[in-house]
Amino acid sequence: MTAETSKMVLAAGLFTLLPGVLRSRIRTMKSGEPISVGSIRVTAMPVDHSIFGAVGFIIEADGKRVVYTGDLRMHGRKPGMARKFIDAARCGIVDLIIVEGTRLGDRSKEANITENDVAAEIANDISGAPGAVLAAYSPLNVDRFVSFYKARGRRTMVIDPYQAFVLHLVNSRRLPDPLRQLAPLIMAGPRFPFGRASRRLHEKAWFKDLQGRLIDPARIVEAPDRYLILYRDSMREWLFPLGLPPETTCIFSYWPGYVREERVKSMRRDVDAAGGRFVLRHASGHAHPDDLFSLVAAISPRRILPVHTTAPDVWARRFGCTAVANDGQEISVT
């Protein structure tokens, strides 16, 4: 995996219940620079996705070339990534493309909302909000953090240590340090000092810098209309133990399908009890079908293998040269 992907896996492993990956098992690669695994040559190419550091792959062996799109989109802030990916893939004949299709089938009629559209909608929601504003989104979605930060208006943005660590990790020689440059405040729950992340990171300089940015949750409760707050349902018991402040606005910025989950239903009930407003604002991390079709047509593979989709037959009807396989089924590239 790339160093960027490795960082996101590390953050998720430390701050969530997701399993981590042993560092001894990770071999990092630089985007655009091929590595060899035996007789197989693999090149990672950056793609735009809702998770920072996503890549697609070009795999070459025995005179054959396989392209894997990974999860990608063309409606984010970095459309140039898709163009470079296509250019790299077209440097030779593509015998097989393994292509995602998350938004095919039942999701094909979803509006293709861009990341900039979402930022504008969020800015409007915040500017008219009378009370607290809660930002419910994944800390791994750095583009969404930027959308909320740009839309905050007069409010101070408050994030948690998970988001702060992700921002610390995306810092590089090519990018300014977003945590220092943007200087959001950081709130930590009472269990944070005893958690896995705290135990692993407490000796790091980043963790020590964190202490000077902490805000007492009581300050947020005293003047909730001053803040834009990164929020998850699990935070309510220690951040708002008496219930959400009156007229709270919760901006839910995940895939809308998650609203059927109990944790989100609980969040909505809390917002309703506060006489507030629960709104959905999201741009998908996955490409619109039309964009996927254009990408595949531009690469012009000899064969297509759909993955991560409930409608693989769409490819066969549109392009013909499609292999629809079950899990574990062998596909021959001839």
* Claim to verify: residue 122 and residue 249 sit in the same structural domain: yes
- N-term to C-term CA, the chain: 27
* pLDDT for residue 306: 94
For residue 146 the two structure tokens come to 């930027």
* Claim to verify: residue 167 and residue 258 sit in the same structural domain: yes
pLDDT at 173 over 60: no
Which residues, 6+ apart, have CB-to-CB distance to 198 below 8 Å? 161, 192, 207
> Torsion over CA of 8, 10, 13 and 14, rounded to 10 degrees?
-110
- Of 129-138, 168-177, 268-277, 287-296, minimum mean pLDDT range: 168-177
* Claim to verify: residue 197 and residue 302 sit in the same structural domain: no
What's the pLDDT tens digit per position in 208-235?
Answer: 778 888 999 999 999 999 999 999 999 9
* pLDDT for residue 198: 86
Q: How far apart are CA 266 and CA 174, in angstroms?
A: 41
Q: How far apart are CA 158 and CA 186, in angstroms?
A: 5
Q: What CA–CA distances, in Å, run from 201 to 12, 198, 207? A: 14, 5, 6
pLDDT band at residue 176 using 50, 70 and 90 as cut-offs = low
Give a yes or no: residue 162 inside a domain: yes
Residue 128: how many other CB atoms lie within 10 Å: 9
Q: How far apart are CA 120 and CA 278, in angstroms?
A: 17
Give a yes or no: residue 20 inside a domain: no
How large a percentage of the chain has pLDDT more than 90?
68
Give a yes or no: residue 10 inside a domain: no
Q: How far apart are CA 145 and CA 169, in angstroms?
A: 14
pLDDT at 110 over 90: no
Number of H helices, E strands in the chain: 13, 12
Range list of β-strands (E), 137-211: 156-159, 185-186
Closest alpha carbon to 40 in 11, 6, 64, 67? 64
Give a yes or no: residue 42 inside a domain: yes
pLDDT band at residue 177 using 50, 70 and 90 as cut-offs = low
Count Cα neighbours of 93 within 13 Å in the Cβ-side half-sphere.
8
pLDDT band at residue 172 using 50, 70 and 90 as cut-offs = low
Mean pLDDT of 123-130: 95
pLDDT at 200 over 70: yes
* pLDDT for residue 275: 97
How large a percentage of the chain has pLDDT more than 70?
97
Residue 159: how many other CB atoms lie within 10 Å: 25
* pLDDT for residue 106: 87
User: Average pLDDT over the chain, rounded to whole?
Assistant: 91
For residue 327 the two structure tokens come to 């899990």
Closest alpha carbon to 275 in 312, 255, 295, 248? 248
Length of the chain as a residue count: 334
pLDDT at 81 over 90: yes
Give a yes or no: residue 15 inside a domain: no
* Claim to verify: residue 121 and residue 264 sit in the same structural domain: yes
* Claim to verify: residue 220 and residue 100 sit in the same structural domain: no
Which residues, 6+ apart, have CB-to-CB distance to 229 below 8 Å? 132, 133, 134, 135, 157, 158, 187, 220, 239
Identify whether the C-beta of residue 147 lies closer than 8 Å to the C-beta of residue 115: yes
Domain that holds residue 258: 115-280
Q: What CA–CA distances, in Å, run from 32 to 42, 87, 334? A: 10, 12, 26
What's the pLDDT tens digit per position in 40-59?
Answer: 999 999 999 999 889 999 99
Give a yes or no: residue 7 inside a domain: no
- Number of structural domains (the chain) is 2
* Claim to verify: residue 54 and residue 96 sit in the same structural domain: yes
- Of 22-36, 47-61, 148-162, 230-244, minimum mean pLDDT range: 22-36
* pLDDT for residue 246: 97
* pLDDT for residue 109: 87
Give a yes or no: residue 332 inside a domain: no
* Claim to verify: residue 276 and residue 291 sit in the same structural domain: no
Axis-axis angle for helices 142-151, 115-127 (nearest 10): 40
Q: Which residue type, as a one-letter code, is found at position 170?
A: V
Which residues, 6+ apart, have CB-to-CB distance to 49 below 8 Å? 70, 71, 72, 73, 76, 285, 286
* pLDDT for residue 163: 93
What's the pLDDT tens digit per position in 244-301?
Answer: 999 999 999 999 999 999 999 999 999 999 999 999 999 999 999 999 999 999 999 9
* Claim to verify: residue 228 and residue 98 sit in the same structural domain: no
Give a yes or no: residue 330 inside a domain: no
Q: Phi and psi for 250 in degrees, rounded to 5? A: -110, 120
| Helix, strand, or coil (residue 304) | strand
Domain of 253, CATH number, reads 3.40.50.10710
* Claim to verify: residue 64 and residue 170 sit in the same structural domain: no
Q: What is the pTM of this model?
A: 0.91
The residue with greater pLDDT, 169 or 44, is 44
pLDDT at 27 over 90: no
* Claim to verify: residue 155 and residue 101 sit in the same structural domain: no
pLDDT band at residue 237 using 50, 70 and 90 as cut-offs = very high
* pLDDT for residue 203: 75
* pLDDT for residue 131: 94
* pLDDT for residue 40: 95
* pLDDT for residue 175: 54
H or E segment and range at residue 268 = helix 262-273
Q: What CA–CA distances, in Å, run from 172 to 10, 145, 179? A: 16, 18, 12
> Any idea which residue has 């990956």 for tokens?
21
pLDDT at 24 over 90: no
